[in-house]
Amino acid sequence: MADTAVGATTEPEHGADPSRRDFIYIATIAAAAGAGASLVWPFVDQMNPSADTLALASTEFDLTKVADGQQVTLKWRGKPLFVRNRTKAEIAAAVKDDTAALKDPQTDAERVKPGKAQWLVLIGSCTHLGCVPTFGGGDYGGWFCPCHGSHYDTSGRIRKGPAPKNLAVPEYAFLSDTKVKIG
Protein backbone atom coordinates (compact mmCIF):
# COMPACT_ATOMS: atom_id res chain seq x y z
CA MET A 1 0.00 0.00 0.00
CA ALA A 2 1.12 3.51 -0.69
CA ASP A 3 2.18 5.87 2.03
CA THR A 4 -1.05 7.38 3.38
CA ALA A 5 0.66 10.57 4.51
CA VAL A 6 1.56 11.60 0.97
CA GLY A 7 -1.77 12.08 -0.65
CA ALA A 8 -4.83 11.08 1.24
CA THR A 9 -7.02 12.52 -1.48
CA THR A 10 -5.17 11.29 -4.58
CA GLU A 11 -5.33 7.57 -3.69
CA PRO A 12 -8.65 6.20 -4.83
CA GLU A 13 -10.43 3.95 -2.31
CA HIS A 14 -10.16 0.30 -3.35
CA GLY A 15 -13.32 -0.98 -1.73
CA ALA A 16 -16.29 1.25 -1.99
CA ASP A 17 -17.36 0.17 1.48
CA PRO A 18 -14.46 -0.88 3.74
CA SER A 19 -16.79 -2.32 6.35
CA ARG A 20 -17.96 -4.93 3.81
CA ARG A 21 -14.38 -6.09 3.37
CA ASP A 22 -13.93 -6.31 7.14
CA PHE A 23 -17.03 -8.44 7.28
CA ILE A 24 -15.58 -10.86 4.74
CA TYR A 25 -12.35 -11.10 6.71
CA ILE A 26 -14.10 -11.78 9.99
CA ALA A 27 -16.51 -14.26 8.44
CA THR A 28 -13.67 -16.14 6.78
CA ILE A 29 -11.67 -16.33 9.97
CA ALA A 30 -14.74 -17.42 11.94
CA ALA A 31 -15.56 -20.14 9.42
CA ALA A 32 -11.98 -21.39 9.42
CA ALA A 33 -11.87 -21.40 13.22
CA GLY A 34 -15.19 -23.24 13.41
CA ALA A 35 -14.12 -25.83 10.86
CA GLY A 36 -10.77 -26.25 12.62
CA ALA A 37 -12.39 -26.66 16.01
CA SER A 38 -14.86 -29.26 14.79
CA LEU A 39 -12.05 -31.15 13.11
CA VAL A 40 -10.14 -31.32 16.41
CA TRP A 41 -12.79 -33.46 18.08
CA PRO A 42 -12.36 -36.64 15.95
CA PHE A 43 -8.64 -36.46 16.61
CA VAL A 44 -9.23 -36.14 20.34
CA ASP A 45 -12.03 -38.69 20.56
CA GLN A 46 -10.14 -41.43 18.70
CA MET A 47 -8.06 -41.77 21.85
CA ASN A 48 -11.13 -42.80 23.92
CA PRO A 49 -12.00 -46.49 24.37
CA SER A 50 -12.98 -48.07 21.05
CA ALA A 51 -16.27 -49.92 20.48
CA ASP A 52 -14.75 -53.38 20.93
CA THR A 53 -13.15 -52.35 24.22
CA LEU A 54 -16.50 -51.04 25.44
CA ALA A 55 -18.24 -54.23 24.27
CA LEU A 56 -16.15 -56.38 26.60
CA ALA A 57 -17.27 -54.35 29.58
CA SER A 58 -19.33 -56.97 31.48
CA THR A 59 -18.72 -60.49 32.75
CA GLU A 60 -20.52 -63.23 34.71
CA PHE A 61 -18.96 -65.09 37.61
CA ASP A 62 -19.91 -68.26 39.53
CA LEU A 63 -19.52 -67.64 43.26
CA THR A 64 -19.39 -71.34 44.21
CA LYS A 65 -15.74 -71.20 43.13
CA VAL A 66 -14.87 -69.06 46.15
CA ALA A 67 -14.67 -70.87 49.49
CA ASP A 68 -15.27 -69.22 52.85
CA GLY A 69 -12.46 -66.78 53.66
CA GLN A 70 -11.04 -67.06 50.15
CA GLN A 71 -10.49 -64.50 47.44
CA VAL A 72 -10.51 -64.99 43.70
CA THR A 73 -8.91 -62.51 41.32
CA LEU A 74 -10.28 -62.25 37.83
CA LYS A 75 -9.44 -59.90 35.02
CA TRP A 76 -12.14 -57.40 34.12
CA ARG A 77 -11.68 -54.44 31.85
CA GLY A 78 -7.95 -55.13 31.89
CA LYS A 79 -7.78 -54.72 35.64
CA PRO A 80 -7.83 -57.23 38.47
CA LEU A 81 -11.18 -57.75 40.19
CA PHE A 82 -11.28 -59.21 43.69
CA VAL A 83 -14.23 -61.40 44.64
CA ARG A 84 -13.86 -62.09 48.34
CA ASN A 85 -15.91 -64.47 50.46
CA ARG A 86 -15.49 -62.74 53.82
CA THR A 87 -15.40 -64.54 57.16
CA LYS A 88 -17.71 -63.49 60.01
CA ALA A 89 -14.76 -61.92 61.83
CA GLU A 90 -13.86 -59.80 58.82
CA ILE A 91 -17.42 -58.54 58.44
CA ALA A 92 -17.61 -57.76 62.14
CA ALA A 93 -14.33 -55.83 62.00
CA ALA A 94 -15.57 -53.86 58.99
CA VAL A 95 -18.93 -53.00 60.59
CA LYS A 96 -17.27 -52.02 63.86
CA ASP A 97 -15.11 -49.48 61.99
CA ASP A 98 -18.10 -47.81 60.27
CA THR A 99 -17.87 -45.11 62.91
CA ALA A 100 -14.07 -44.71 62.78
CA ALA A 101 -12.50 -41.60 61.28
CA LEU A 102 -12.51 -42.59 57.61
CA LYS A 103 -10.80 -40.67 54.83
CA ASP A 104 -13.51 -41.66 52.36
CA PRO A 105 -16.51 -42.28 54.68
CA GLN A 106 -18.71 -45.22 53.71
CA THR A 107 -20.40 -47.86 55.86
CA ASP A 108 -19.69 -51.50 55.18
CA ALA A 109 -23.35 -52.01 54.24
CA GLU A 110 -23.00 -49.47 51.41
CA ARG A 111 -20.23 -51.55 49.88
CA VAL A 112 -22.06 -54.88 49.66
CA LYS A 113 -25.48 -56.03 48.44
CA PRO A 114 -28.23 -56.33 51.09
CA GLY A 115 -28.16 -59.74 52.77
CA LYS A 116 -24.95 -60.69 50.95
CA ALA A 117 -22.46 -59.19 53.39
CA GLN A 118 -19.99 -62.03 52.89
CA TRP A 119 -19.48 -61.13 49.24
CA LEU A 120 -17.19 -58.22 48.68
CA VAL A 121 -16.50 -57.34 45.04
CA LEU A 122 -13.72 -54.80 44.46
CA ILE A 123 -11.67 -53.41 41.63
CA GLY A 124 -8.18 -54.49 42.64
CA SER A 125 -6.51 -51.27 41.69
CA CYS A 126 -5.09 -49.03 44.39
CA THR A 127 -6.79 -45.63 44.25
CA HIS A 128 -3.41 -43.97 44.65
CA LEU A 129 -1.56 -44.92 41.47
CA GLY A 130 -3.16 -48.16 40.34
CA CYS A 131 -0.93 -50.91 41.74
CA VAL A 132 -2.52 -54.19 42.77
CA PRO A 133 -2.94 -54.38 46.58
CA THR A 134 -2.41 -57.75 48.26
CA PHE A 135 -4.71 -59.23 50.89
CA GLY A 136 -3.53 -59.96 54.40
CA GLY A 137 -0.98 -57.18 54.77
CA GLY A 138 -1.19 -53.80 56.38
CA ASP A 139 -2.46 -52.61 59.73
CA TYR A 140 -6.19 -53.24 59.24
CA GLY A 141 -6.35 -56.90 58.23
CA GLY A 142 -7.45 -56.06 54.70
CA TRP A 143 -5.40 -55.10 51.68
CA PHE A 144 -2.01 -53.48 51.53
CA CYS A 145 -0.52 -51.77 48.50
CA PRO A 146 3.19 -52.54 48.30
CA CYS A 147 4.05 -49.66 45.97
CA HIS A 148 3.38 -46.66 48.16
CA GLY A 149 2.07 -48.17 51.39
CA SER A 150 -1.71 -47.71 51.38
CA HIS A 151 -3.59 -49.78 54.00
CA TYR A 152 -7.19 -50.90 53.34
CA ASP A 153 -9.51 -52.55 55.88
CA THR A 154 -11.62 -55.70 55.45
CA SER A 155 -14.23 -53.63 53.64
CA GLY A 156 -11.61 -52.30 51.21
CA ARG A 157 -11.78 -48.81 52.70
CA ILE A 158 -8.67 -46.67 52.78
CA ARG A 159 -7.37 -46.32 56.33
CA LYS A 160 -3.77 -45.18 56.04
CA GLY A 161 -1.32 -44.11 53.33
CA PRO A 162 -1.46 -41.87 50.24
CA ALA A 163 -4.52 -43.36 48.50
CA PRO A 164 -7.40 -40.86 48.52
CA LYS A 165 -10.37 -43.23 48.05
CA ASN A 166 -11.73 -46.62 49.07
CA LEU A 167 -11.13 -49.52 46.70
CA ALA A 168 -13.86 -49.09 44.10
CA VAL A 169 -16.88 -51.39 44.10
CA PRO A 170 -17.87 -51.99 40.48
CA GLU A 171 -21.43 -52.09 39.27
CA TYR A 172 -22.68 -55.66 39.77
CA ALA A 173 -25.88 -57.60 40.37
CA PHE A 174 -26.79 -61.04 41.70
CA LEU A 175 -28.36 -63.10 38.91
CA SER A 176 -28.97 -65.93 41.39
CA ASP A 177 -27.65 -66.81 44.84
CA THR A 178 -24.44 -68.11 43.30
CA LYS A 179 -24.04 -66.03 40.19
CA VAL A 180 -23.12 -62.37 39.74
CA LYS A 181 -22.99 -60.21 36.67
CA ILE A 182 -20.24 -57.64 36.86
CA GLY A 183 -20.42 -54.50 34.78
Partner 1 sequence: MSGHSTYEPKTGFERWLDARLPIVRLGYDSFVDYPTPRNLNYWWTFGGILSLCLASQLITGIILVMHYTPSADHAFASVEHIMRDVNYGWLIRYMHSNGASMFFIAVYIHMFRGLYYGSYKAPREVLWILGCVIYLLMMATAFMGYVLPWGQMSFHGAVVITNLFGALPIVGESITTWLWGGFAVDNATLNRFFSLHYLLPFMIAGVVILHIWALHVVGQNNPTGVEPKSKADTLPFTPYATVKDGFAMSVFLILFAFFVFYMPNALGHADNYIPANPLVTPSHIVPEWYFLPFYAILRAVPDKLMGVLAMFGAIGCLFALPWLDTSKVRSMRYRPTAQMYFVIFVVACIILGFCGAKLPDDQVIPHVTTFKFIDADLNSFVWLSRIATLYYFGFFLVILPILGLKETPLPVPDSIASPALSPAEKG
Residues that bind partner 1 (CB under 8 A): 44, 47-50, 53, 57, 73, 75, 77-80, 124-125, 128-132, 145-149, 160-164
d(C-alpha 127, C-alpha 134), whole Å: 13
- Please answer whether residues 180 and 64 qualify as being in contact, where contact means their C-beta atoms are separated by less than 8 angstroms: no
- Please answer whether residues 107 and 90 qualify as being in contact, where contact means their C-beta atoms are separated by less than 8 angstroms: no
Nearer to partner 1, 34 or 164 (CB): 164
Nearer to partner 1, 59 or 107 (CB): 59
Write down the least CB distance from residue 167 to partner 1, Å: 14
Residues that are catalytic: 148
Element of type H or E holding 174? strand 172-174
Write down the least CB distance from residue 96 to partner 1, Å: 23
Nearer to partner 1, 78 or 115 (CB): 78
- Please answer whether residues 12 and 2 qualify as being in contact, where contact means their C-beta atoms are separated by less than 8 angstroms: no
d(C-alpha 103, C-alpha 89), whole Å: 23
Write down the least CB distance from residue 20 to partner 1, Å: 41
